[in-house]
Amino acid sequence: MNISTMDDIKKLKENKKVKYINLDIINPNLEVIYYLIENGEKYSYAEKINNKKGYIYVSHDIFKQAELFILEVINRISIYLNEIEISRYLYITIGKNIGYDINILPDKNETFNLKNINMINNLWGSIYQSKGTNISLTKLYLYLCSFMKIDCKLITTSKLGYLKNVLTIQNRTIIVDITQDIPYIQGDFKTKNFLGYDDNLELDKKIGYIKEDYNENQIEKSLRSIDYSNEEIVPNILEKTAKILNINNIKPIELSIIYEKIFAKYCPNFDIKINNLYMNNYPQKEHFILINYNNIYYSYNYTKKTFVEINENEIIKNIEEQKIGIYLNEKISLATNKKRNALS
């Protein structure tokens, strides 16, 4: 059943057969939302955008927890922010709270759970799991902007159905791509896909995104004096950048993207590899990245809040014991043929 207004809620009360609700996310109604949070435990939830109904539903518990998060985000918005500042704040908030999920990528997994894919394709499911897709991220941004009466639409930009959002603020059209900006936001970098406002430092300070300067600028200052002839070049870069980046709040795929860009800029001629592995906590895969330079391996220790060197024999042992797994299409260079055979 489509739900937009309290009149729809009245009809819902009269119809005892309804199991599935498609909630209007273009015209959010707080009275409706509060009612469903408190009284909607019998239903499953998907979105409605104009006349198009979503078909991936989540439980009331997931819907409720996600809506409470959304209401908290909305309530934190300062009354002193204008429309562009609010739209930027909402964009940054999504990037800080939702990331990518390597476990749903077909080129990285032999098998994957369709239920998990459906969950994070739903905008409420993506909040619940803190993981999203292009579909859920753009719909979530549309929903948040609609709460704040900001003109926001979805547009399809490729034959494969890739989505972006279009804002219309003060007669100006702004195309944004939250999906591509997730790693930059988690790294406190300048964004790349918020047309006209990617490096507006004063705006980003006002909304609380940046305190002093973007992290790529701070990294550049920190690495100016680095000695590229030093054999410890890679651990030195990792040590310096880890002091700047808040890595505990950066998810693994996003972290690998950030470091690929750092290595490409500051040591493009060095053969540094970043691989995707996972801790085999069956049935869950806990993704982590492994950085390899000259067959010396580094990974981020979230407890110590620093990169640590990983013993190569220990890696092989854990792989042989199936405590660690390697995602598909990952090429890991090893020092000896014995170790190569262990991963083949």
Q: Which residue has the higher pLDDT, 304 or 208?
A: 208
Same domain, 302 and 283: yes
Expressed as residue numbers, the domain containing 278 is 215-343
CA separation, residue 197 to residues 101, 175, 193, 245, 337 (Å): 27, 11, 9, 22, 51
pLDDT band at 112 (very low <50, low <70, confident <90, very high): confident
Mean local confidence (pLDDT), 236-257: 96
Other C-beta atoms closer than 10 Å to the C-beta of 212 total: 9
- pLDDT confidence band for 338 (50 / 70 / 90): very low
Half-sphere exposure of 218 (CA within 13 A, CB side): 17
Of the chain, the percentage scoring pLDDT greater than 70 comes to 97
Among the residue ranges 225-229, 269-273, 335-339, the one predicted with the least confidence is 335-339
pLDDT digits (tens, 9 = 90+) for 57-110: 999 999 999 999 999 999 999 999 999 999 999 999 999 999 999 999 989 988
Q: How many domains in the chain?
A: 2
One domain for residues 175 and 265: no
Q: Average pLDDT of 152-163?
A: 95
User: Does residue 340 have a pLDDT over 50?
Assistant: no
| Secondary structure class of 115 (helix, strand, coil) | helix
pLDDT digits (tens, 9 = 90+) for 22-41: 999 999 999 999 999 999 99
* Pair type for strands 20-24 and 2-3: parallel
Q: Which of 107-116, 157-166, 298-307 has the highest mean pLDDT?
A: 157-166
Whether residues 268 and 337 share a domain: the answer is yes
Instruction: Give yes or no: residues 92 and 238 share one domain.
Output: no
Predicted pLDDT at 173:
96
Note if the pTM is more than 0.75: yes
44-49/20-24 β-pairing: parallel
Same domain, 157 and 240: no
Give the mean pLDDT of 225-237: 88
**pLDDT (mean) for 118-146:** 97
Q: Of 175, 206, 237, which residue sits at a domain end?
A: 206
Residues 71, 137 within the same domain: yes
What three-state secondary structure class fits 102?
A: helix
Residues 191 and 107 in one domain: yes
Q: Tell whether 98 and 200 lie within a shared domain.
A: yes
Helix axes 30-39, 60-75, angle to 10 degrees: 140
Q: What pLDDT score was predicted for residue 19?
A: 97
Last residue of a domain, one of 154, 173, 206: 206
CA distance 25 to 68: 15
- Whether the per-residue pLDDT at 341 is higher than 70: the answer is no
User: Which pLDDT score is estimated for 111?
Assistant: 81
User: End of a domain among 206, 239, 262?
Assistant: 206
Q: What confidence score (pLDDT) does residue 334 get? A: 60
> Do residues 21 and 40 both lie within one domain?
yes
Dump the DSSP string for 48-110: EETTEEP---B-HHHHHHHHHHHHHHHHTS-TT--HHHHHHHHHHHHHHH-B--GGG-TTT-S
- State whether residue 99 is helix, strand or coil: strand
Task: State how far the Cα of 116 lies from the Cα of 301, in Å rounded to an integer.
Answer: 27
For residues 335 and 288, membership in a common domain is answered with yes
Residues 228 and 183 in one domain: no
Task: Kindly tell me if the per-residue pLDDT of 307 is higher than 50.
Answer: yes
Q: Are the C-beta atoms of 31 and 93 separated by less than 8 Å?
A: no
Backbone phi and psi for residue 213, each to the nearest 5 degrees, phi listed first: -155, 160
Contact present, 216 and 222 (Cβ < 8 Å) = no
On whether both 106 and 226 belong to a single domain, the answer is no
Q: How many CB atoms lie within 10 A of CB 57?
A: 20
